[in-house]
Each structure stands twice: as C-alpha cells, then as structure tokens.
Amino acid sequence: MTDWTDLVISLIKAFLVFIGVVNTVPILVWAERRGSAFIQHRLGPNRVNIAGVTLFGLVQPLADVVKFIWKEDYAPSHANRVFYVLAPVLLLVPAAMTFAVIPFADVLTVAGREIKMQVADLNIGILYIFALTSLSVYGIVLAGWSSNNKYSLMGGIRSSAQMISYELALGLSVVGILMIYRSVQLDEIVLAQGRELFGVLPKWGVVTQPLAFVLFLAAIFAESNRLPFDLPEAESELVVGYHTEYSAMKFAIFFMAEYMAMITGSMLIVTLFFGGWQIPWVESAELKAAVGEVPAALLQLGSFSTKVLFFLWLFIWVRWTLPRFRYDQLMRLGWKVILPLALANIFATGLVLYFT
C-alpha cells in the first residue's frame, strides 16, 4: 500500500513541477519582450486583449500559442524527415527532465510521512543534470544537420563546439562547491548552505566560492545559448542558425527548450550558489517551529522562486545589454580564461580545505 502512495506523491510532484516550469516559459517570453521594449525605449506588445483585458501584454503569449498551433507545419523537401522531426524532441525532453533533482523546499513532514520537495532524490544529483544538459547538444546538431541548410549546419557546428568547450568549464567550476559541501546531492548542498559564516554572512556558495560563481554564470549562459554567447543562433550572420528551417510548433518547441534551459540554469545557480530554498538568517527548523510545516515549505518555495526569477531576469537583462561574442573570442574565453581559472580555483579550494 505504501508503495502506491509514494508513487502517487511522486507523480503529483512531477506533474506540478512540469506544469510550473512550462507555464513559466510564456511569462518569460512576455518579460523578455516587454522588458527589452522598455530598455530600448519602446512599448512592446500591449494590444492583444480578451474583452479589453490586456494584463500588461500578458495575453500576447496566448495569441502566440494559438498562432503557432494553427500555422502550417512546413518541412522542407530536402530535409531528412526522421531526424528533422526527432531533433526538437531531443532538445525538449532533456530540458524538461532536468528539474527532477532540484529541491524546492525543505523536507515536508505531513501525517508522519516525510516528503522530499524534489521530484527525484538521486544520489548522483548534479552529475545527472550535467549528463542531461550535455544531451541537448544532440538536438541542436541534429536539427542543424537534418535541415540540409548551410546556415542551420553552421549553427549546429558552432553549437556543438561551444557546448563542449563550456561544459568543461561548467563542470570544473562546480568542483569547488562539491569540495566545500562534500556532496553531489543537491538537497544536501542546499542544507549545508543554511549555516552561517562568521555568524553574519549566510554560508552560500557565492560567499565561499565567488570566482566559481562568476565562471559558472558565464558557462551557464553559454550552455543555454543566450547572449552574449548565442552564436548558434546569430541572427545577423546565420539567420537563426539551427532552427532556420523550422516553423509552427516545431519552432515553438525549440523556443521552449531555450527558455527551459534558462530556467534550469537559474535553478542551478540558485541551488549551488545562493542557498536554494534557504531564507537567509532563518533556520529551517526554527521556521517550521514558528509557522508550521506547510507554511514554512511555502515560504521556502517563495524564497527559491524569488531567487530563480531574479536570475531569469538577469538572463534577459544581459541579453539586451551585451553584444554577441565573435567565434574566436568565445573559444579563447572558454579555453584560455575560464578553464585555467576554474582549475586554479579548485587548487586554491583544495589548499584552503587541507590547511583548515
């Protein structure tokens, strides 16, 4: 009997997390369009309405979705049909699976049952995320190659080179965090960040590993193909790169996958460097004792969401601030700057840990 309740609880968690993440995507698109508009002294989409209600333009994504669904699903005749259809799926599925190991709140105890506030408590934790994010490169390369279009192919090739280069930096910049918190499980890393350093600062990853944070931030921008590292798309030179030949919902899936990669990235940054669901200077146990189990979990969820939303905004903010890197600059930054710095950071962390 207990097995069944566990299964049901897991299914409910998976459903809620998936729905939550998927519904963040249109809000992000809205934030991107309206935010960029206000940064560039424009108004942005504010006309679409339902019976006069525009919700500051939030109805626009709804109209976009309707348009995407009803558009002709055109596939070029020279494309390799099997891989052409497979590519968006290969990109979306890993992007949607990554959220499984992110903890959203402290362990919740309801009716004597401990419920972990993450979909799957894997003991490999962060390695699972890295494994899945590296899978997404296949979707992009396959899309570029099966389209049989030189721009798409260029985009796919650039993307694979960029992702492989920055995955290294991504993985290495996290090693310091793993050394300090002595775990690869994200819930344990978050728990360890709940303590305080010198009694004042919360023991967040960004305090203990500031250099790793900067490197990780740069690498995660590159991994999610966002400006200033959006060379696979590069509108000015490659049309839109790997998804040039895609239309209708297939294009929308690429779009969704990009935004989901952004959400993954933000959640990872928050979990590793900003204490996940921890509310600064508030102990989880004290909070539970003060307001009760469920309100505490909701407050922690709120704390987590606020941090994640800030980093999602940072993604958008940076996109409308910085120009795109040139390909050789990108490679030089990845291999000659971020990689040695990440290695030096690991060495320094090891020294400090050895002597303390």
Partner 1 sequence: MVIDPRHVKVLRAEDIIRERAHTEAWWKRIYLPAVVMGLGVTIRNMVRNLIHPGGLPTIRYPEERRDYGARFRGRHYLKKRPSGEPRCVACMMCATACPADCIFIVAGEHPDPAIEKYPVRFDIDGLRCIMCGYCVDACPEDAIAMTKEYEWASYEREDFIWDKEYLLNWRDEKVVDDGYQPYEGEIDKSRMSRGTL
From residue 22 to residue 61, what is the string marking binding to partner 1 with x (rule CB under 8 A)?
A: -------------x--xx-xxx------------------
Distance CA(49)–CA(47), nearest Å, equals 6
One residue of 110, 195, 321, 326 binding partner 1 per CB under 8 A? 321
**Residues from 201 through 220 that contact partner 1 (CB under 8 A):** 214
**Total residues at the site for partner 1 (CB under 8 A)?**
12
Helices (H), 99-125: none
Give 42 or 182: the residue with its C-beta nearer to partner 1. 42
78 is a contact residue toward partner 1 (CB under 8 A): no
Please answer whether residues 144 and 245 qualify as being in contact, where contact means their C-beta atoms are separated by less than 8 angstroms. Answer: no
One residue of 318, 327, 335, 343 binding partner 1 per CB under 8 A? 318
- Phi, psi of 108, deg, nearest 5: -100, 130
We find the least distance from the C-beta atom of residue 56 to partner 1, in angstroms, to be 11
We find the least distance from the C-beta atom of residue 318 to partner 1, in angstroms, to be 7
We find the least distance from the C-beta atom of residue 193 to partner 1, in angstroms, to be 24
**In which residue are the tokens 């709940």 written?**
194
Give 13 or 226: the residue with its C-beta nearer to partner 1. 226
Amino acid at 319: R
We find the least distance from the C-beta atom of residue 123 to partner 1, in angstroms, to be 36
Q: 113-115 and 108-110 as β-strands: parallel, antiparallel, unpaired?
A: antiparallel
Smallest CA-to-CA distance from 147 within 62, 92, 74, 70 is with 74
We find the least distance from the C-beta atom of residue 320 to partner 1, in angstroms, to be 6
* Three-state secondary structure call for residue 196: strand
We find the least distance from the C-beta atom of residue 247 to partner 1, in angstroms, to be 27
Neighbouring-strand partners of residue 50: 53
Give one word for 71, left, alpha or beta, with left for phi > 0 and alpha for psi -120 to 50.
beta
Give 14 or 343: the residue with its C-beta nearer to partner 1. 343
Give 32 or 245: the residue with its C-beta nearer to partner 1. 32
Q: Which two tokens stand for residue 142?
A: 């396959």
332 is a contact residue toward partner 1 (CB under 8 A): no
Please answer whether residues 99 and 308 qualify as being in contact, where contact means their C-beta atoms are separated by less than 8 angstroms. Answer: no
320 is a contact residue toward partner 1 (CB under 8 A): yes
Give 43 or 285: the residue with its C-beta nearer to partner 1. 43
One residue of 12, 69, 291, 322 binding partner 1 per CB under 8 A? 322
Give 138 or 313: the residue with its C-beta nearer to partner 1. 313
Q: What angle in degrees, to the nearest 10, is found between the helix axes of 248-273 and 293-319?
A: 120
Q: Buried b / exposed e across 92-118, counting CB within 10 Å, b at 16+?
A: bebbbbbbbbbbbbbbbeeeeeebbbb
Distance CA(155)–CA(254), nearest Å, equals 14
Q: Segment near partner 1 (CB under 8 A), from 149-157, 177-185, 203-211, 313-321?
A: 313-321
Please answer whether residues 184 and 120 qualify as being in contact, where contact means their C-beta atoms are separated by less than 8 angstroms. Answer: no
We find the least distance from the C-beta atom of residue 49 to partner 1, in angstroms, to be 14
What residues line the site for partner 1 (CB under 8 A)?
A: 35, 38-39, 41-43, 214, 317-318, 320-322
